[in-house]
Structure 1
Amino acid sequence: MSNDMMFTTVSSKGQIVIPKRVRKKLDIKNGNIFTITEKRGLIVLKKIDQNLSHDDIMTLQSINEAWDEIKNNKGGKSTTSKFFTEFAKW
């Protein structure tokens, strides 16, 4: 799957639909657990197992560190394609 932009809507209950091809690629099924973080209007969802793995913890820590860099004006500017390339590594 490429980093094509997709759109979804929010229901009256605050629910969103994750597009089918994303669900298929990430093997998202009913009952999966996600962490969610939000900063400055950007929402990040991370699928996790019921028990956080070391990789999950490291990813969440990296996201938190990135937010701290942005908050402290240490984040650099990036093109959209470069951002999504880096984001895909998470």
Structure 2
Amino acid sequence: MEISSIISAIVIGLIIGVLGRLVAPGRQPIGVLWTIVVGIVAAFIGSAIAQGFGVADTDGVDWVEWLIQIGLAAVGVSLLSRSKSRR
């Protein structure tokens, strides 16, 4: 894996994480690093799901893939904030 791939994964993860955090209801007591981690994981899993459905590689912007990734990030942020608030 090249350094440009790592940097782009972090940037995409940040964007997906922030969008997922905006979609998730309520207040989330998690930090920026956890948001990035959740976003990166959601981006990878969402890409795999979109690839499985055959909607990952389309002409133009892959809106369905983005929606899957943002939805997964929202679920991840909600689960992580719920587990952190119980402590």
Same fold (TM over 0.5): no
Larger strand fraction of residues: 1
Q: Calculate the TM-score normalised by the size of structure 2.
A: 0.30
Quick one: higher RCO (CA 8 Å, sep 6+), 1 or 2?
2
Larger radius of gyration: 1
